Amino acid sequence: MQQNLKPNRPKIITTEIEGLVFNRRMNIAHAIEALLSKEFVLVDDFYSTGLQILEELNFYLKQKFSKKDYNSQREARSVFRELSHKLLLMVSDNRLEVRKSPKIGWLKILYPEISEFFISFPDVQGLNSSWQWFQNGIKLDILPFRLKPYFGTYFPTRFDHLELFENWLKTYNGTKKNAIDIGVGSGVLSFQMLQNGFQNIYGTDSNPNSIIGLTQEVERLKFGNKFNLSCGDLFASLDFATELIVFNPPWLIANHELEEGIDKAIYYEPDLFPRFFEQAKNHLAKDGKIVMIFSNFAKVVGQEVKNPINVELGNFNRFRRVEFFQKKPKPSSKKTRRKDWRQNEKVELWVLSHK
C-alpha cells in the first residue's frame, strides 16, 4: 500500500475577506444581491440561515432558467454552484462557528494543520453528508457488510450495473488468482470479485482519497492481505499481465476542465479510452478477459459522441467482443424532484479478449 498520500479536500480561504456579514435579522434579498454580484457572504449566526439563503438563491435561478431540457438545467446547476460557493462559514478549532451546526469529523481529519479558515457552505454540506455516510456506512444488497466511503470517493447510488457484474461473475469459469480493478473507487467491484472467489485484487485510482479510504476499509474488514492498492493513472505502476481487468469508467465525456477527485469518476477526457486500450493490451494475459461497465447515458442526454468501446473495436486490431449484456435501470425514486433523464438509459457490460 502507498504511504503519505495527501487527500483532495475542499478549497478554503485562510486570509481576510471582504463581503457581507449576514444574519437572520437582515433582509435576505441583500444576501442574494451580493451573491449575484459575486461577492462573499459570511453567515454569522445560525447554520439554518445559510440553508435559507441557498433555498432563496435556488428559487431565483429556477425562475431565470425556466427551460426543462437537460442542457439548460445543467447550466442552471453550474451557475448555482458558482454563486453558492460565495456563501461562507467560519471554522475555528475544527468546528463550525455558527450556532446549531453539525459536527463534522472531516474538518479535523482533512485540515489538521489549520486552526481557522473560511469554507463555502456547499462544501460544508458535502462534508457533512460524507461524514454521515462514513459514520453510518452504506448498505448494498450485493455485499454482506456496510461500506464506509472516504470523503471525495466515488460510491454507487444506483445498482443495476453492479447486478450485471454480479451475474457475470457467477458464470465466469476462468482463473481467479489475480484481477486488476481500474478506478477502484470505494472498492465495490473488488469486493464483488473477492466474494466470488478471486484471491488477489490490484486496485488503482488517480484519486488519492480512494486509495487512502480503501486502505483503511480493507483493514477494517480484514481483507488487507488480498489487496494491493496504487495511486496513479489507469494501470499506475503495475507491470504484469493478469487474467481479468475490470474497468467501470466515467459515462459522460467532459465539456469542462475536470477537477481532481470525484469529477473524474463522472466525466472522461477524450484520450481516456484510447490510453486505456493501448495499456490494457500489455496488461492482459493471453487468455484473459476485460470487463467494462458502461451506459448509453451520454446519448440519452444528447451528447453527440460515439460509444468509445465500439470505436476501439471498429478501428483497432487489438480486442474482440466476447459477450455483451444490457439492463434497463430501475426508475428513480418518486421522491426525486429532478426529471429522470435515465428513463431511456441502458447499462452495459462488455467482455473483451485479445484478437
Q: What is the pLDDT of residues 20-71, one digit of tens each?
A: 999 999 999 999 999 999 999 999 999 999 999 999 999 988 887 766 666 6
Residue type, 199: Q
CA distance 64 to 73: 11
CA distance 98 to 102: 10
Tell the residue number behind the cell numbers 481516456, with chain if given.
272
* Among 186, 215, 6, CA closest to 111: 6
What's the angle, vertex CA 188, arms to CA 232 and CA 126, rounded to 5?
75
Superfamily of domain 138-354: Vaccinia Virus protein VP39 (3.40.50.150)
Largest CA-CA distance found in the chain, in angstroms, rounded? 71
pLDDT class of 75 with cuts at 50, 70, 90:
confident
Task: Write the pLDDT tens digit of every residue in 316-346.
Answer: 999 999 999 998 887 765 555 445 556 778 8
Task: Write the pLDDT tens digit of every residue in 186-198.
Answer: 999 999 999 999 9
CB 215 within 8 A of CB 149: no
Burial tier of 355 (Cβ tally within 10 Å: 0-12, 13-18, 19+):
exposed
Q: Which residue has the higher pLDDT, 255 or 165?
A: 165
Burial tier of 211 (Cβ tally within 10 Å: 0-12, 13-18, 19+):
buried
Tell the residue number behind the cell numbers 462534508, with chain if given.
127
Task: Write the pLDDT tens digit of every residue in 218-269.
Answer: 999 999 899 999 999 999 999 999 999 999 998 777 777 767 667 777 787 8
What is the model's pTM?
Answer: 0.88
The H-assigned helical ranges of the chain are 28-36, 47-64, 70-84, 106-110, 121-136, 160-171, 188-195, 208-220, 263-266, 272-283, 297-300, 308-315
- The SS3 assignment for 22 reads strand
Query: 160 φ, ψ to 5°?
Result: -60, -40
Q: Which residue has the higher pLDDT, 159 or 21?
A: 21
Alpha carbon of 293 to those of 52, 159, 181, 308: distances in Å? 40, 12, 12, 12
Q: What is the mean pLDDT of residues 345-351?
A: 93
Residue type, 192: Q
Residues in contact with 297: Cβ distance below 8 Å, sequence separation at least 6, in sequence order: 251, 252, 341, 342, 345
CA distance 328 to 335: 20
Rg from Cα positions in the chain? 22
Alpha carbon of 89 to those of 10, 34, 51, 85, 123: distances in Å? 13, 16, 12, 10, 10
* Among 116, 14, 99, CA closest to 50: 99
CB 213 within 8 A of CB 186: yes
CATH 3.40.50.150 segments of the chain: 138-354
Segment (H or E) for 12: strand 12-13
pLDDT class of 270 with cuts at 50, 70, 90:
confident
